Amino acid sequence: MRQLAKLSPWFLVYSSLAAPAFAVDATTELLAQKGVITAEEYEKIKKAQNSQATVDMSDGLKIVSGDKNFSAQIGTMLQLDGVNYSSDIKDVAGRDLANAGSEFRRVRLSINGTLYNSWDYKTEIDFANGSQLIDGFVTYRGFKTSTPIQLTFGHFKIPFSQESLAADKGLTFMERSLPNAFLNARAPGAMISAGKDNWSSAFMLYGEQISTAASAVSDEGGGAAFRTSWAPLIGPGGTFHLGASLATRAPSQNNTASTTTPITYSDSVRFRSKPESNIIETRLVDTGNIANAERTDLWGLELGGSFKTLGFNAEYIDTTVHRKNNLDDVHFSGWFAQTSWSITGEQRTYKGDKGLFDGIKPSKGIDQGGIGAWELAVRLSEIDLTDGDLVLRNKVMLPEINGGKERNLTFALNSYLNQYFRASMNYVHVLDIEGGSFADKDLNAVQLRLQFAY
């Protein structure tokens, strides 16, 4: 029995190696404090513990090496949408262009992790429409500087606009606002970024989007983007955020007459927007192809914050297309303002080193005996795609670029059942359309979403 008593502490330690890391550490510390094991034995046990990988399934399947230098995490996200429209939008044959339907908005599988505690990686594929690369990048953050600096290369989000950079699973509304039509969300490139508790900055050089390819005898488009943010107030009671972005990009040269001599090219850009609902195929505002585009310059401003259970965000984006052959530049703009209220008392979290707000998380999910988190939100947004000198078209004087000006009002009700499941209902009302192909037309949409993110 005496021999068994001597072995029992060691049995407790080594049998717990398969348990969660916090349980192993607690057992070892307790035995060391009571003098059951020596300091030398304690160090040997800790070394053995550090060689054991741990598994965490609280948010996706995550495996972390014992020394915390390596990790891998597998995640998924599903979004199922349904919508019903009420509109007078029809084609020339009188057929309704806004039809009720359903779709998988996003079906994603991702893997991300860490290497040598200095490299981060992520790959994410969307299978909602075939297969499409969403993210595929590597970040190095091993610089020994007082201010954390990161280098990222691969395919990832362009640093412009807080709304554009926000994670899809945490958006307050089912779709981003109208002025998001000015932005390319992601592109292949390289970025340097830095940030601390209340500020962030990022600069990126990028090429053409993967889905857009220039011909073999033409130049590919690309550009540069810069974003900075500052939060003069961060605290448990409230947060105040300011941000600004700049970007410039050149279009791809698409070969339009490869059999001619010399070869001719057509550089063009196009802006168009759905009415904050994805299932409808029709864009209510659309510039059409703007030819002879040399480059597009954009700048944007951000304002955001939270006060206890209230949140607000507003952005303005200004876009100028510079044209060749002595043609005048054309100018477009858009903005949105939104506010939200957490009925159940949760607060939005803010990442100061990224300059981004996260969605709310329920303090007590339905599986814990609570009612989850409930949120109400409203947004007003506008985009103006009309500019240029008046020209005569079909005996009517119209602006050269008559894309139209649209203004929307959207309401949202969100139910966060727990940290994985969410249900959303949006009501979208097109307040007004000026100019373009659908001037003075009406559209209302009631749309629902079920989301699972793990």
Q: Whose CA is closest to 400, among 319, 291, 317?
A: 291
Q: For the CA atoms of the chain, what is the radius of gyration?
A: 27
Overall average pLDDT of the 255-279 stretch: 72
Average pLDDT for residues 310-328, to the nearest whole number?
96
Distance CA 125, CA 26 (A): 40
Cut 0.85: pTM above it: yes
16 — pLDDT class (breaks 50, 70, 90): very low
**Range scoring the smallest mean pLDDT among 53-62, 258-267, 444-453:** 258-267
CA angle at residue 181 from 175 to 183, to 5 degrees?
110
**162 and 172 Cβ atoms separated by less than 8 Å:** no
Q: How many CB atoms lie within 10 A of CB 145?
A: 7
In the block, residue with structure tokens 């200095």: 118
- DSSP per-residue codes, 241-269: EEEEEEEEEE--EEEEETTSSS-EEEEEE
pLDDT of residue 329: 96
Report angle CA 236, 239, 243 to the nearest 5 degrees: 155
**What is the pLDDT at residue 10?**
43
Rounded to an integer, the average pLDDT of 19-41 is 67
Rounded Cα gap, residues 84 and 111, in angstroms: 35
Structure confidence at residue 8 (pLDDT) = 46
Whole-angstrom distance, CA of residue 22 vs CA of residue 56: 12
Q: What is the mean pLDDT of the chain?
A: 89
Separation of CA 394 from chain center: 43
Identity (one letter) of the amino acid at 178?
A: L
Cross-strand bridge partners of residue 322? 295
2 confidence band (pLDDT: 50, 70, 90): very low
What are residue 112's DSSP bridge partners?
Answer: 73, 122
How far is Cα 105 from Cα 301, in angstroms, rounded to an integer? 28
Lowest-confidence segment of 30-44, 111-125, 280-294 by average pLDDT: 30-44
Phi-psi region of 179 (alpha: psi -120 to 50; beta: other; left: phi over 0): alpha
Q: Examine the pLDDT at 337 and tell me if it is beyond 70.
A: yes
Beta-bridge partners for 310: 307, 341
Q: How confident is the model at residue 266 (pLDDT cuts 50, 70, 90)?
A: low
Percentage of the chain lying above the pLDDT 70 cut: 88
- For 407-419, what is each residue's pLDDT tens digit? 999 999 999 999 9
Phi/psi class of residue 369: alpha, beta or left (left: φ > 0; alpha: ψ in -120 to 50)?
Answer: left
Confidence label for 261 from pLDDT (cuts 50, 70 and 90): very low
Whole-angstrom distance, CA of residue 390 vs CA of residue 392: 7
Residue 195 to residue 263: CA distance in whole angstroms? 47
Q: pLDDT tens, 244-254?
A: 999 999 988 76
Task: Please name the amino acid found at residue 330.
Answer: V
Summarised one tens digit per residue, pLDDT across range 275-309 is 999 999 999 999 999 999 999 999 999 999 999 99
pLDDT at 1: 45
Among 5-9, 78-82, 364-368, the least confident range: 5-9
Check whether 335 has a pLDDT greater than 70. yes
pLDDT digits (tens, 9 = 90+) for 145-155: 989 999 999 99
